[in-house]
Amino acid sequence: MALAGFLLLAVLAVAGALGVVLQRNALYGALTLVGVFATTAILYLMLSAPFLAAVQVMVYAGAIMVLFIFVIMLLSLRYEESGESEGVPRGAKRNLAVALSSILVALLVLLGTGLVLTGRPGPSEGNMASIRDLGLTLYQKYAFPFELASVLLLVAIVGAVALTRRHGRGFEGSVAREDT
Footprint of other proteins on residues 86-125 (CB under 8 A)?
Answer: 88-89, 94, 97-98, 100-102, 104-105, 107-109, 111-113, 115-116, 120-125
Candidate residues 8, 95, 153, 171; the one interacting with other proteins per rule CB under 8 A? 153
Closest CB 172 distance from other proteins, rounded Å: 18
Restricted to residues 3-42, the positions that interact with other proteins (CB under 8 A) are 3, 6, 10, 13-14, 17-18, 20-21, 26, 29-30, 33, 36-37, 40
Angstrom distances, CA of residue 117 to CA of 110, 121, 124, 172, 176: 10, 11, 18, 66, 62
Q: Cα–Cα distance between 109 and 176 in angstroms, integer?
A: 51
Q: Is 156 in the site for other proteins (CB under 8 A)?
A: yes
Closest CB 155 distance from other proteins, rounded Å: 7
Restricted to residues 128-147, the positions that interact with other proteins (CB under 8 A) are 129, 133-134, 137-138, 141-142, 145
Angstrom distances, CA of residue 5 to CA of 45, 99, 112, 113, 166: 12, 32, 19, 20, 49
Q: Is 164 in the site for other proteins (CB under 8 A)?
A: yes
Q: Cα–Cα distance between 58 and 60 in angstroms, integer?
A: 6
Residues 85 and 79 sit within 8 Å (Cβ to Cβ): yes
Q: Is 46 in the site for other proteins (CB under 8 A)?
A: yes
- Cα torsion through 17, 22, 26, 29, rounded to 10: -30
Q: Is 59 in the site for other proteins (CB under 8 A)?
A: yes
Closest CB 146 distance from other proteins, rounded Å: 8
Q: Cα–Cα distance between 69 and 172 in angstroms, integer?
A: 33
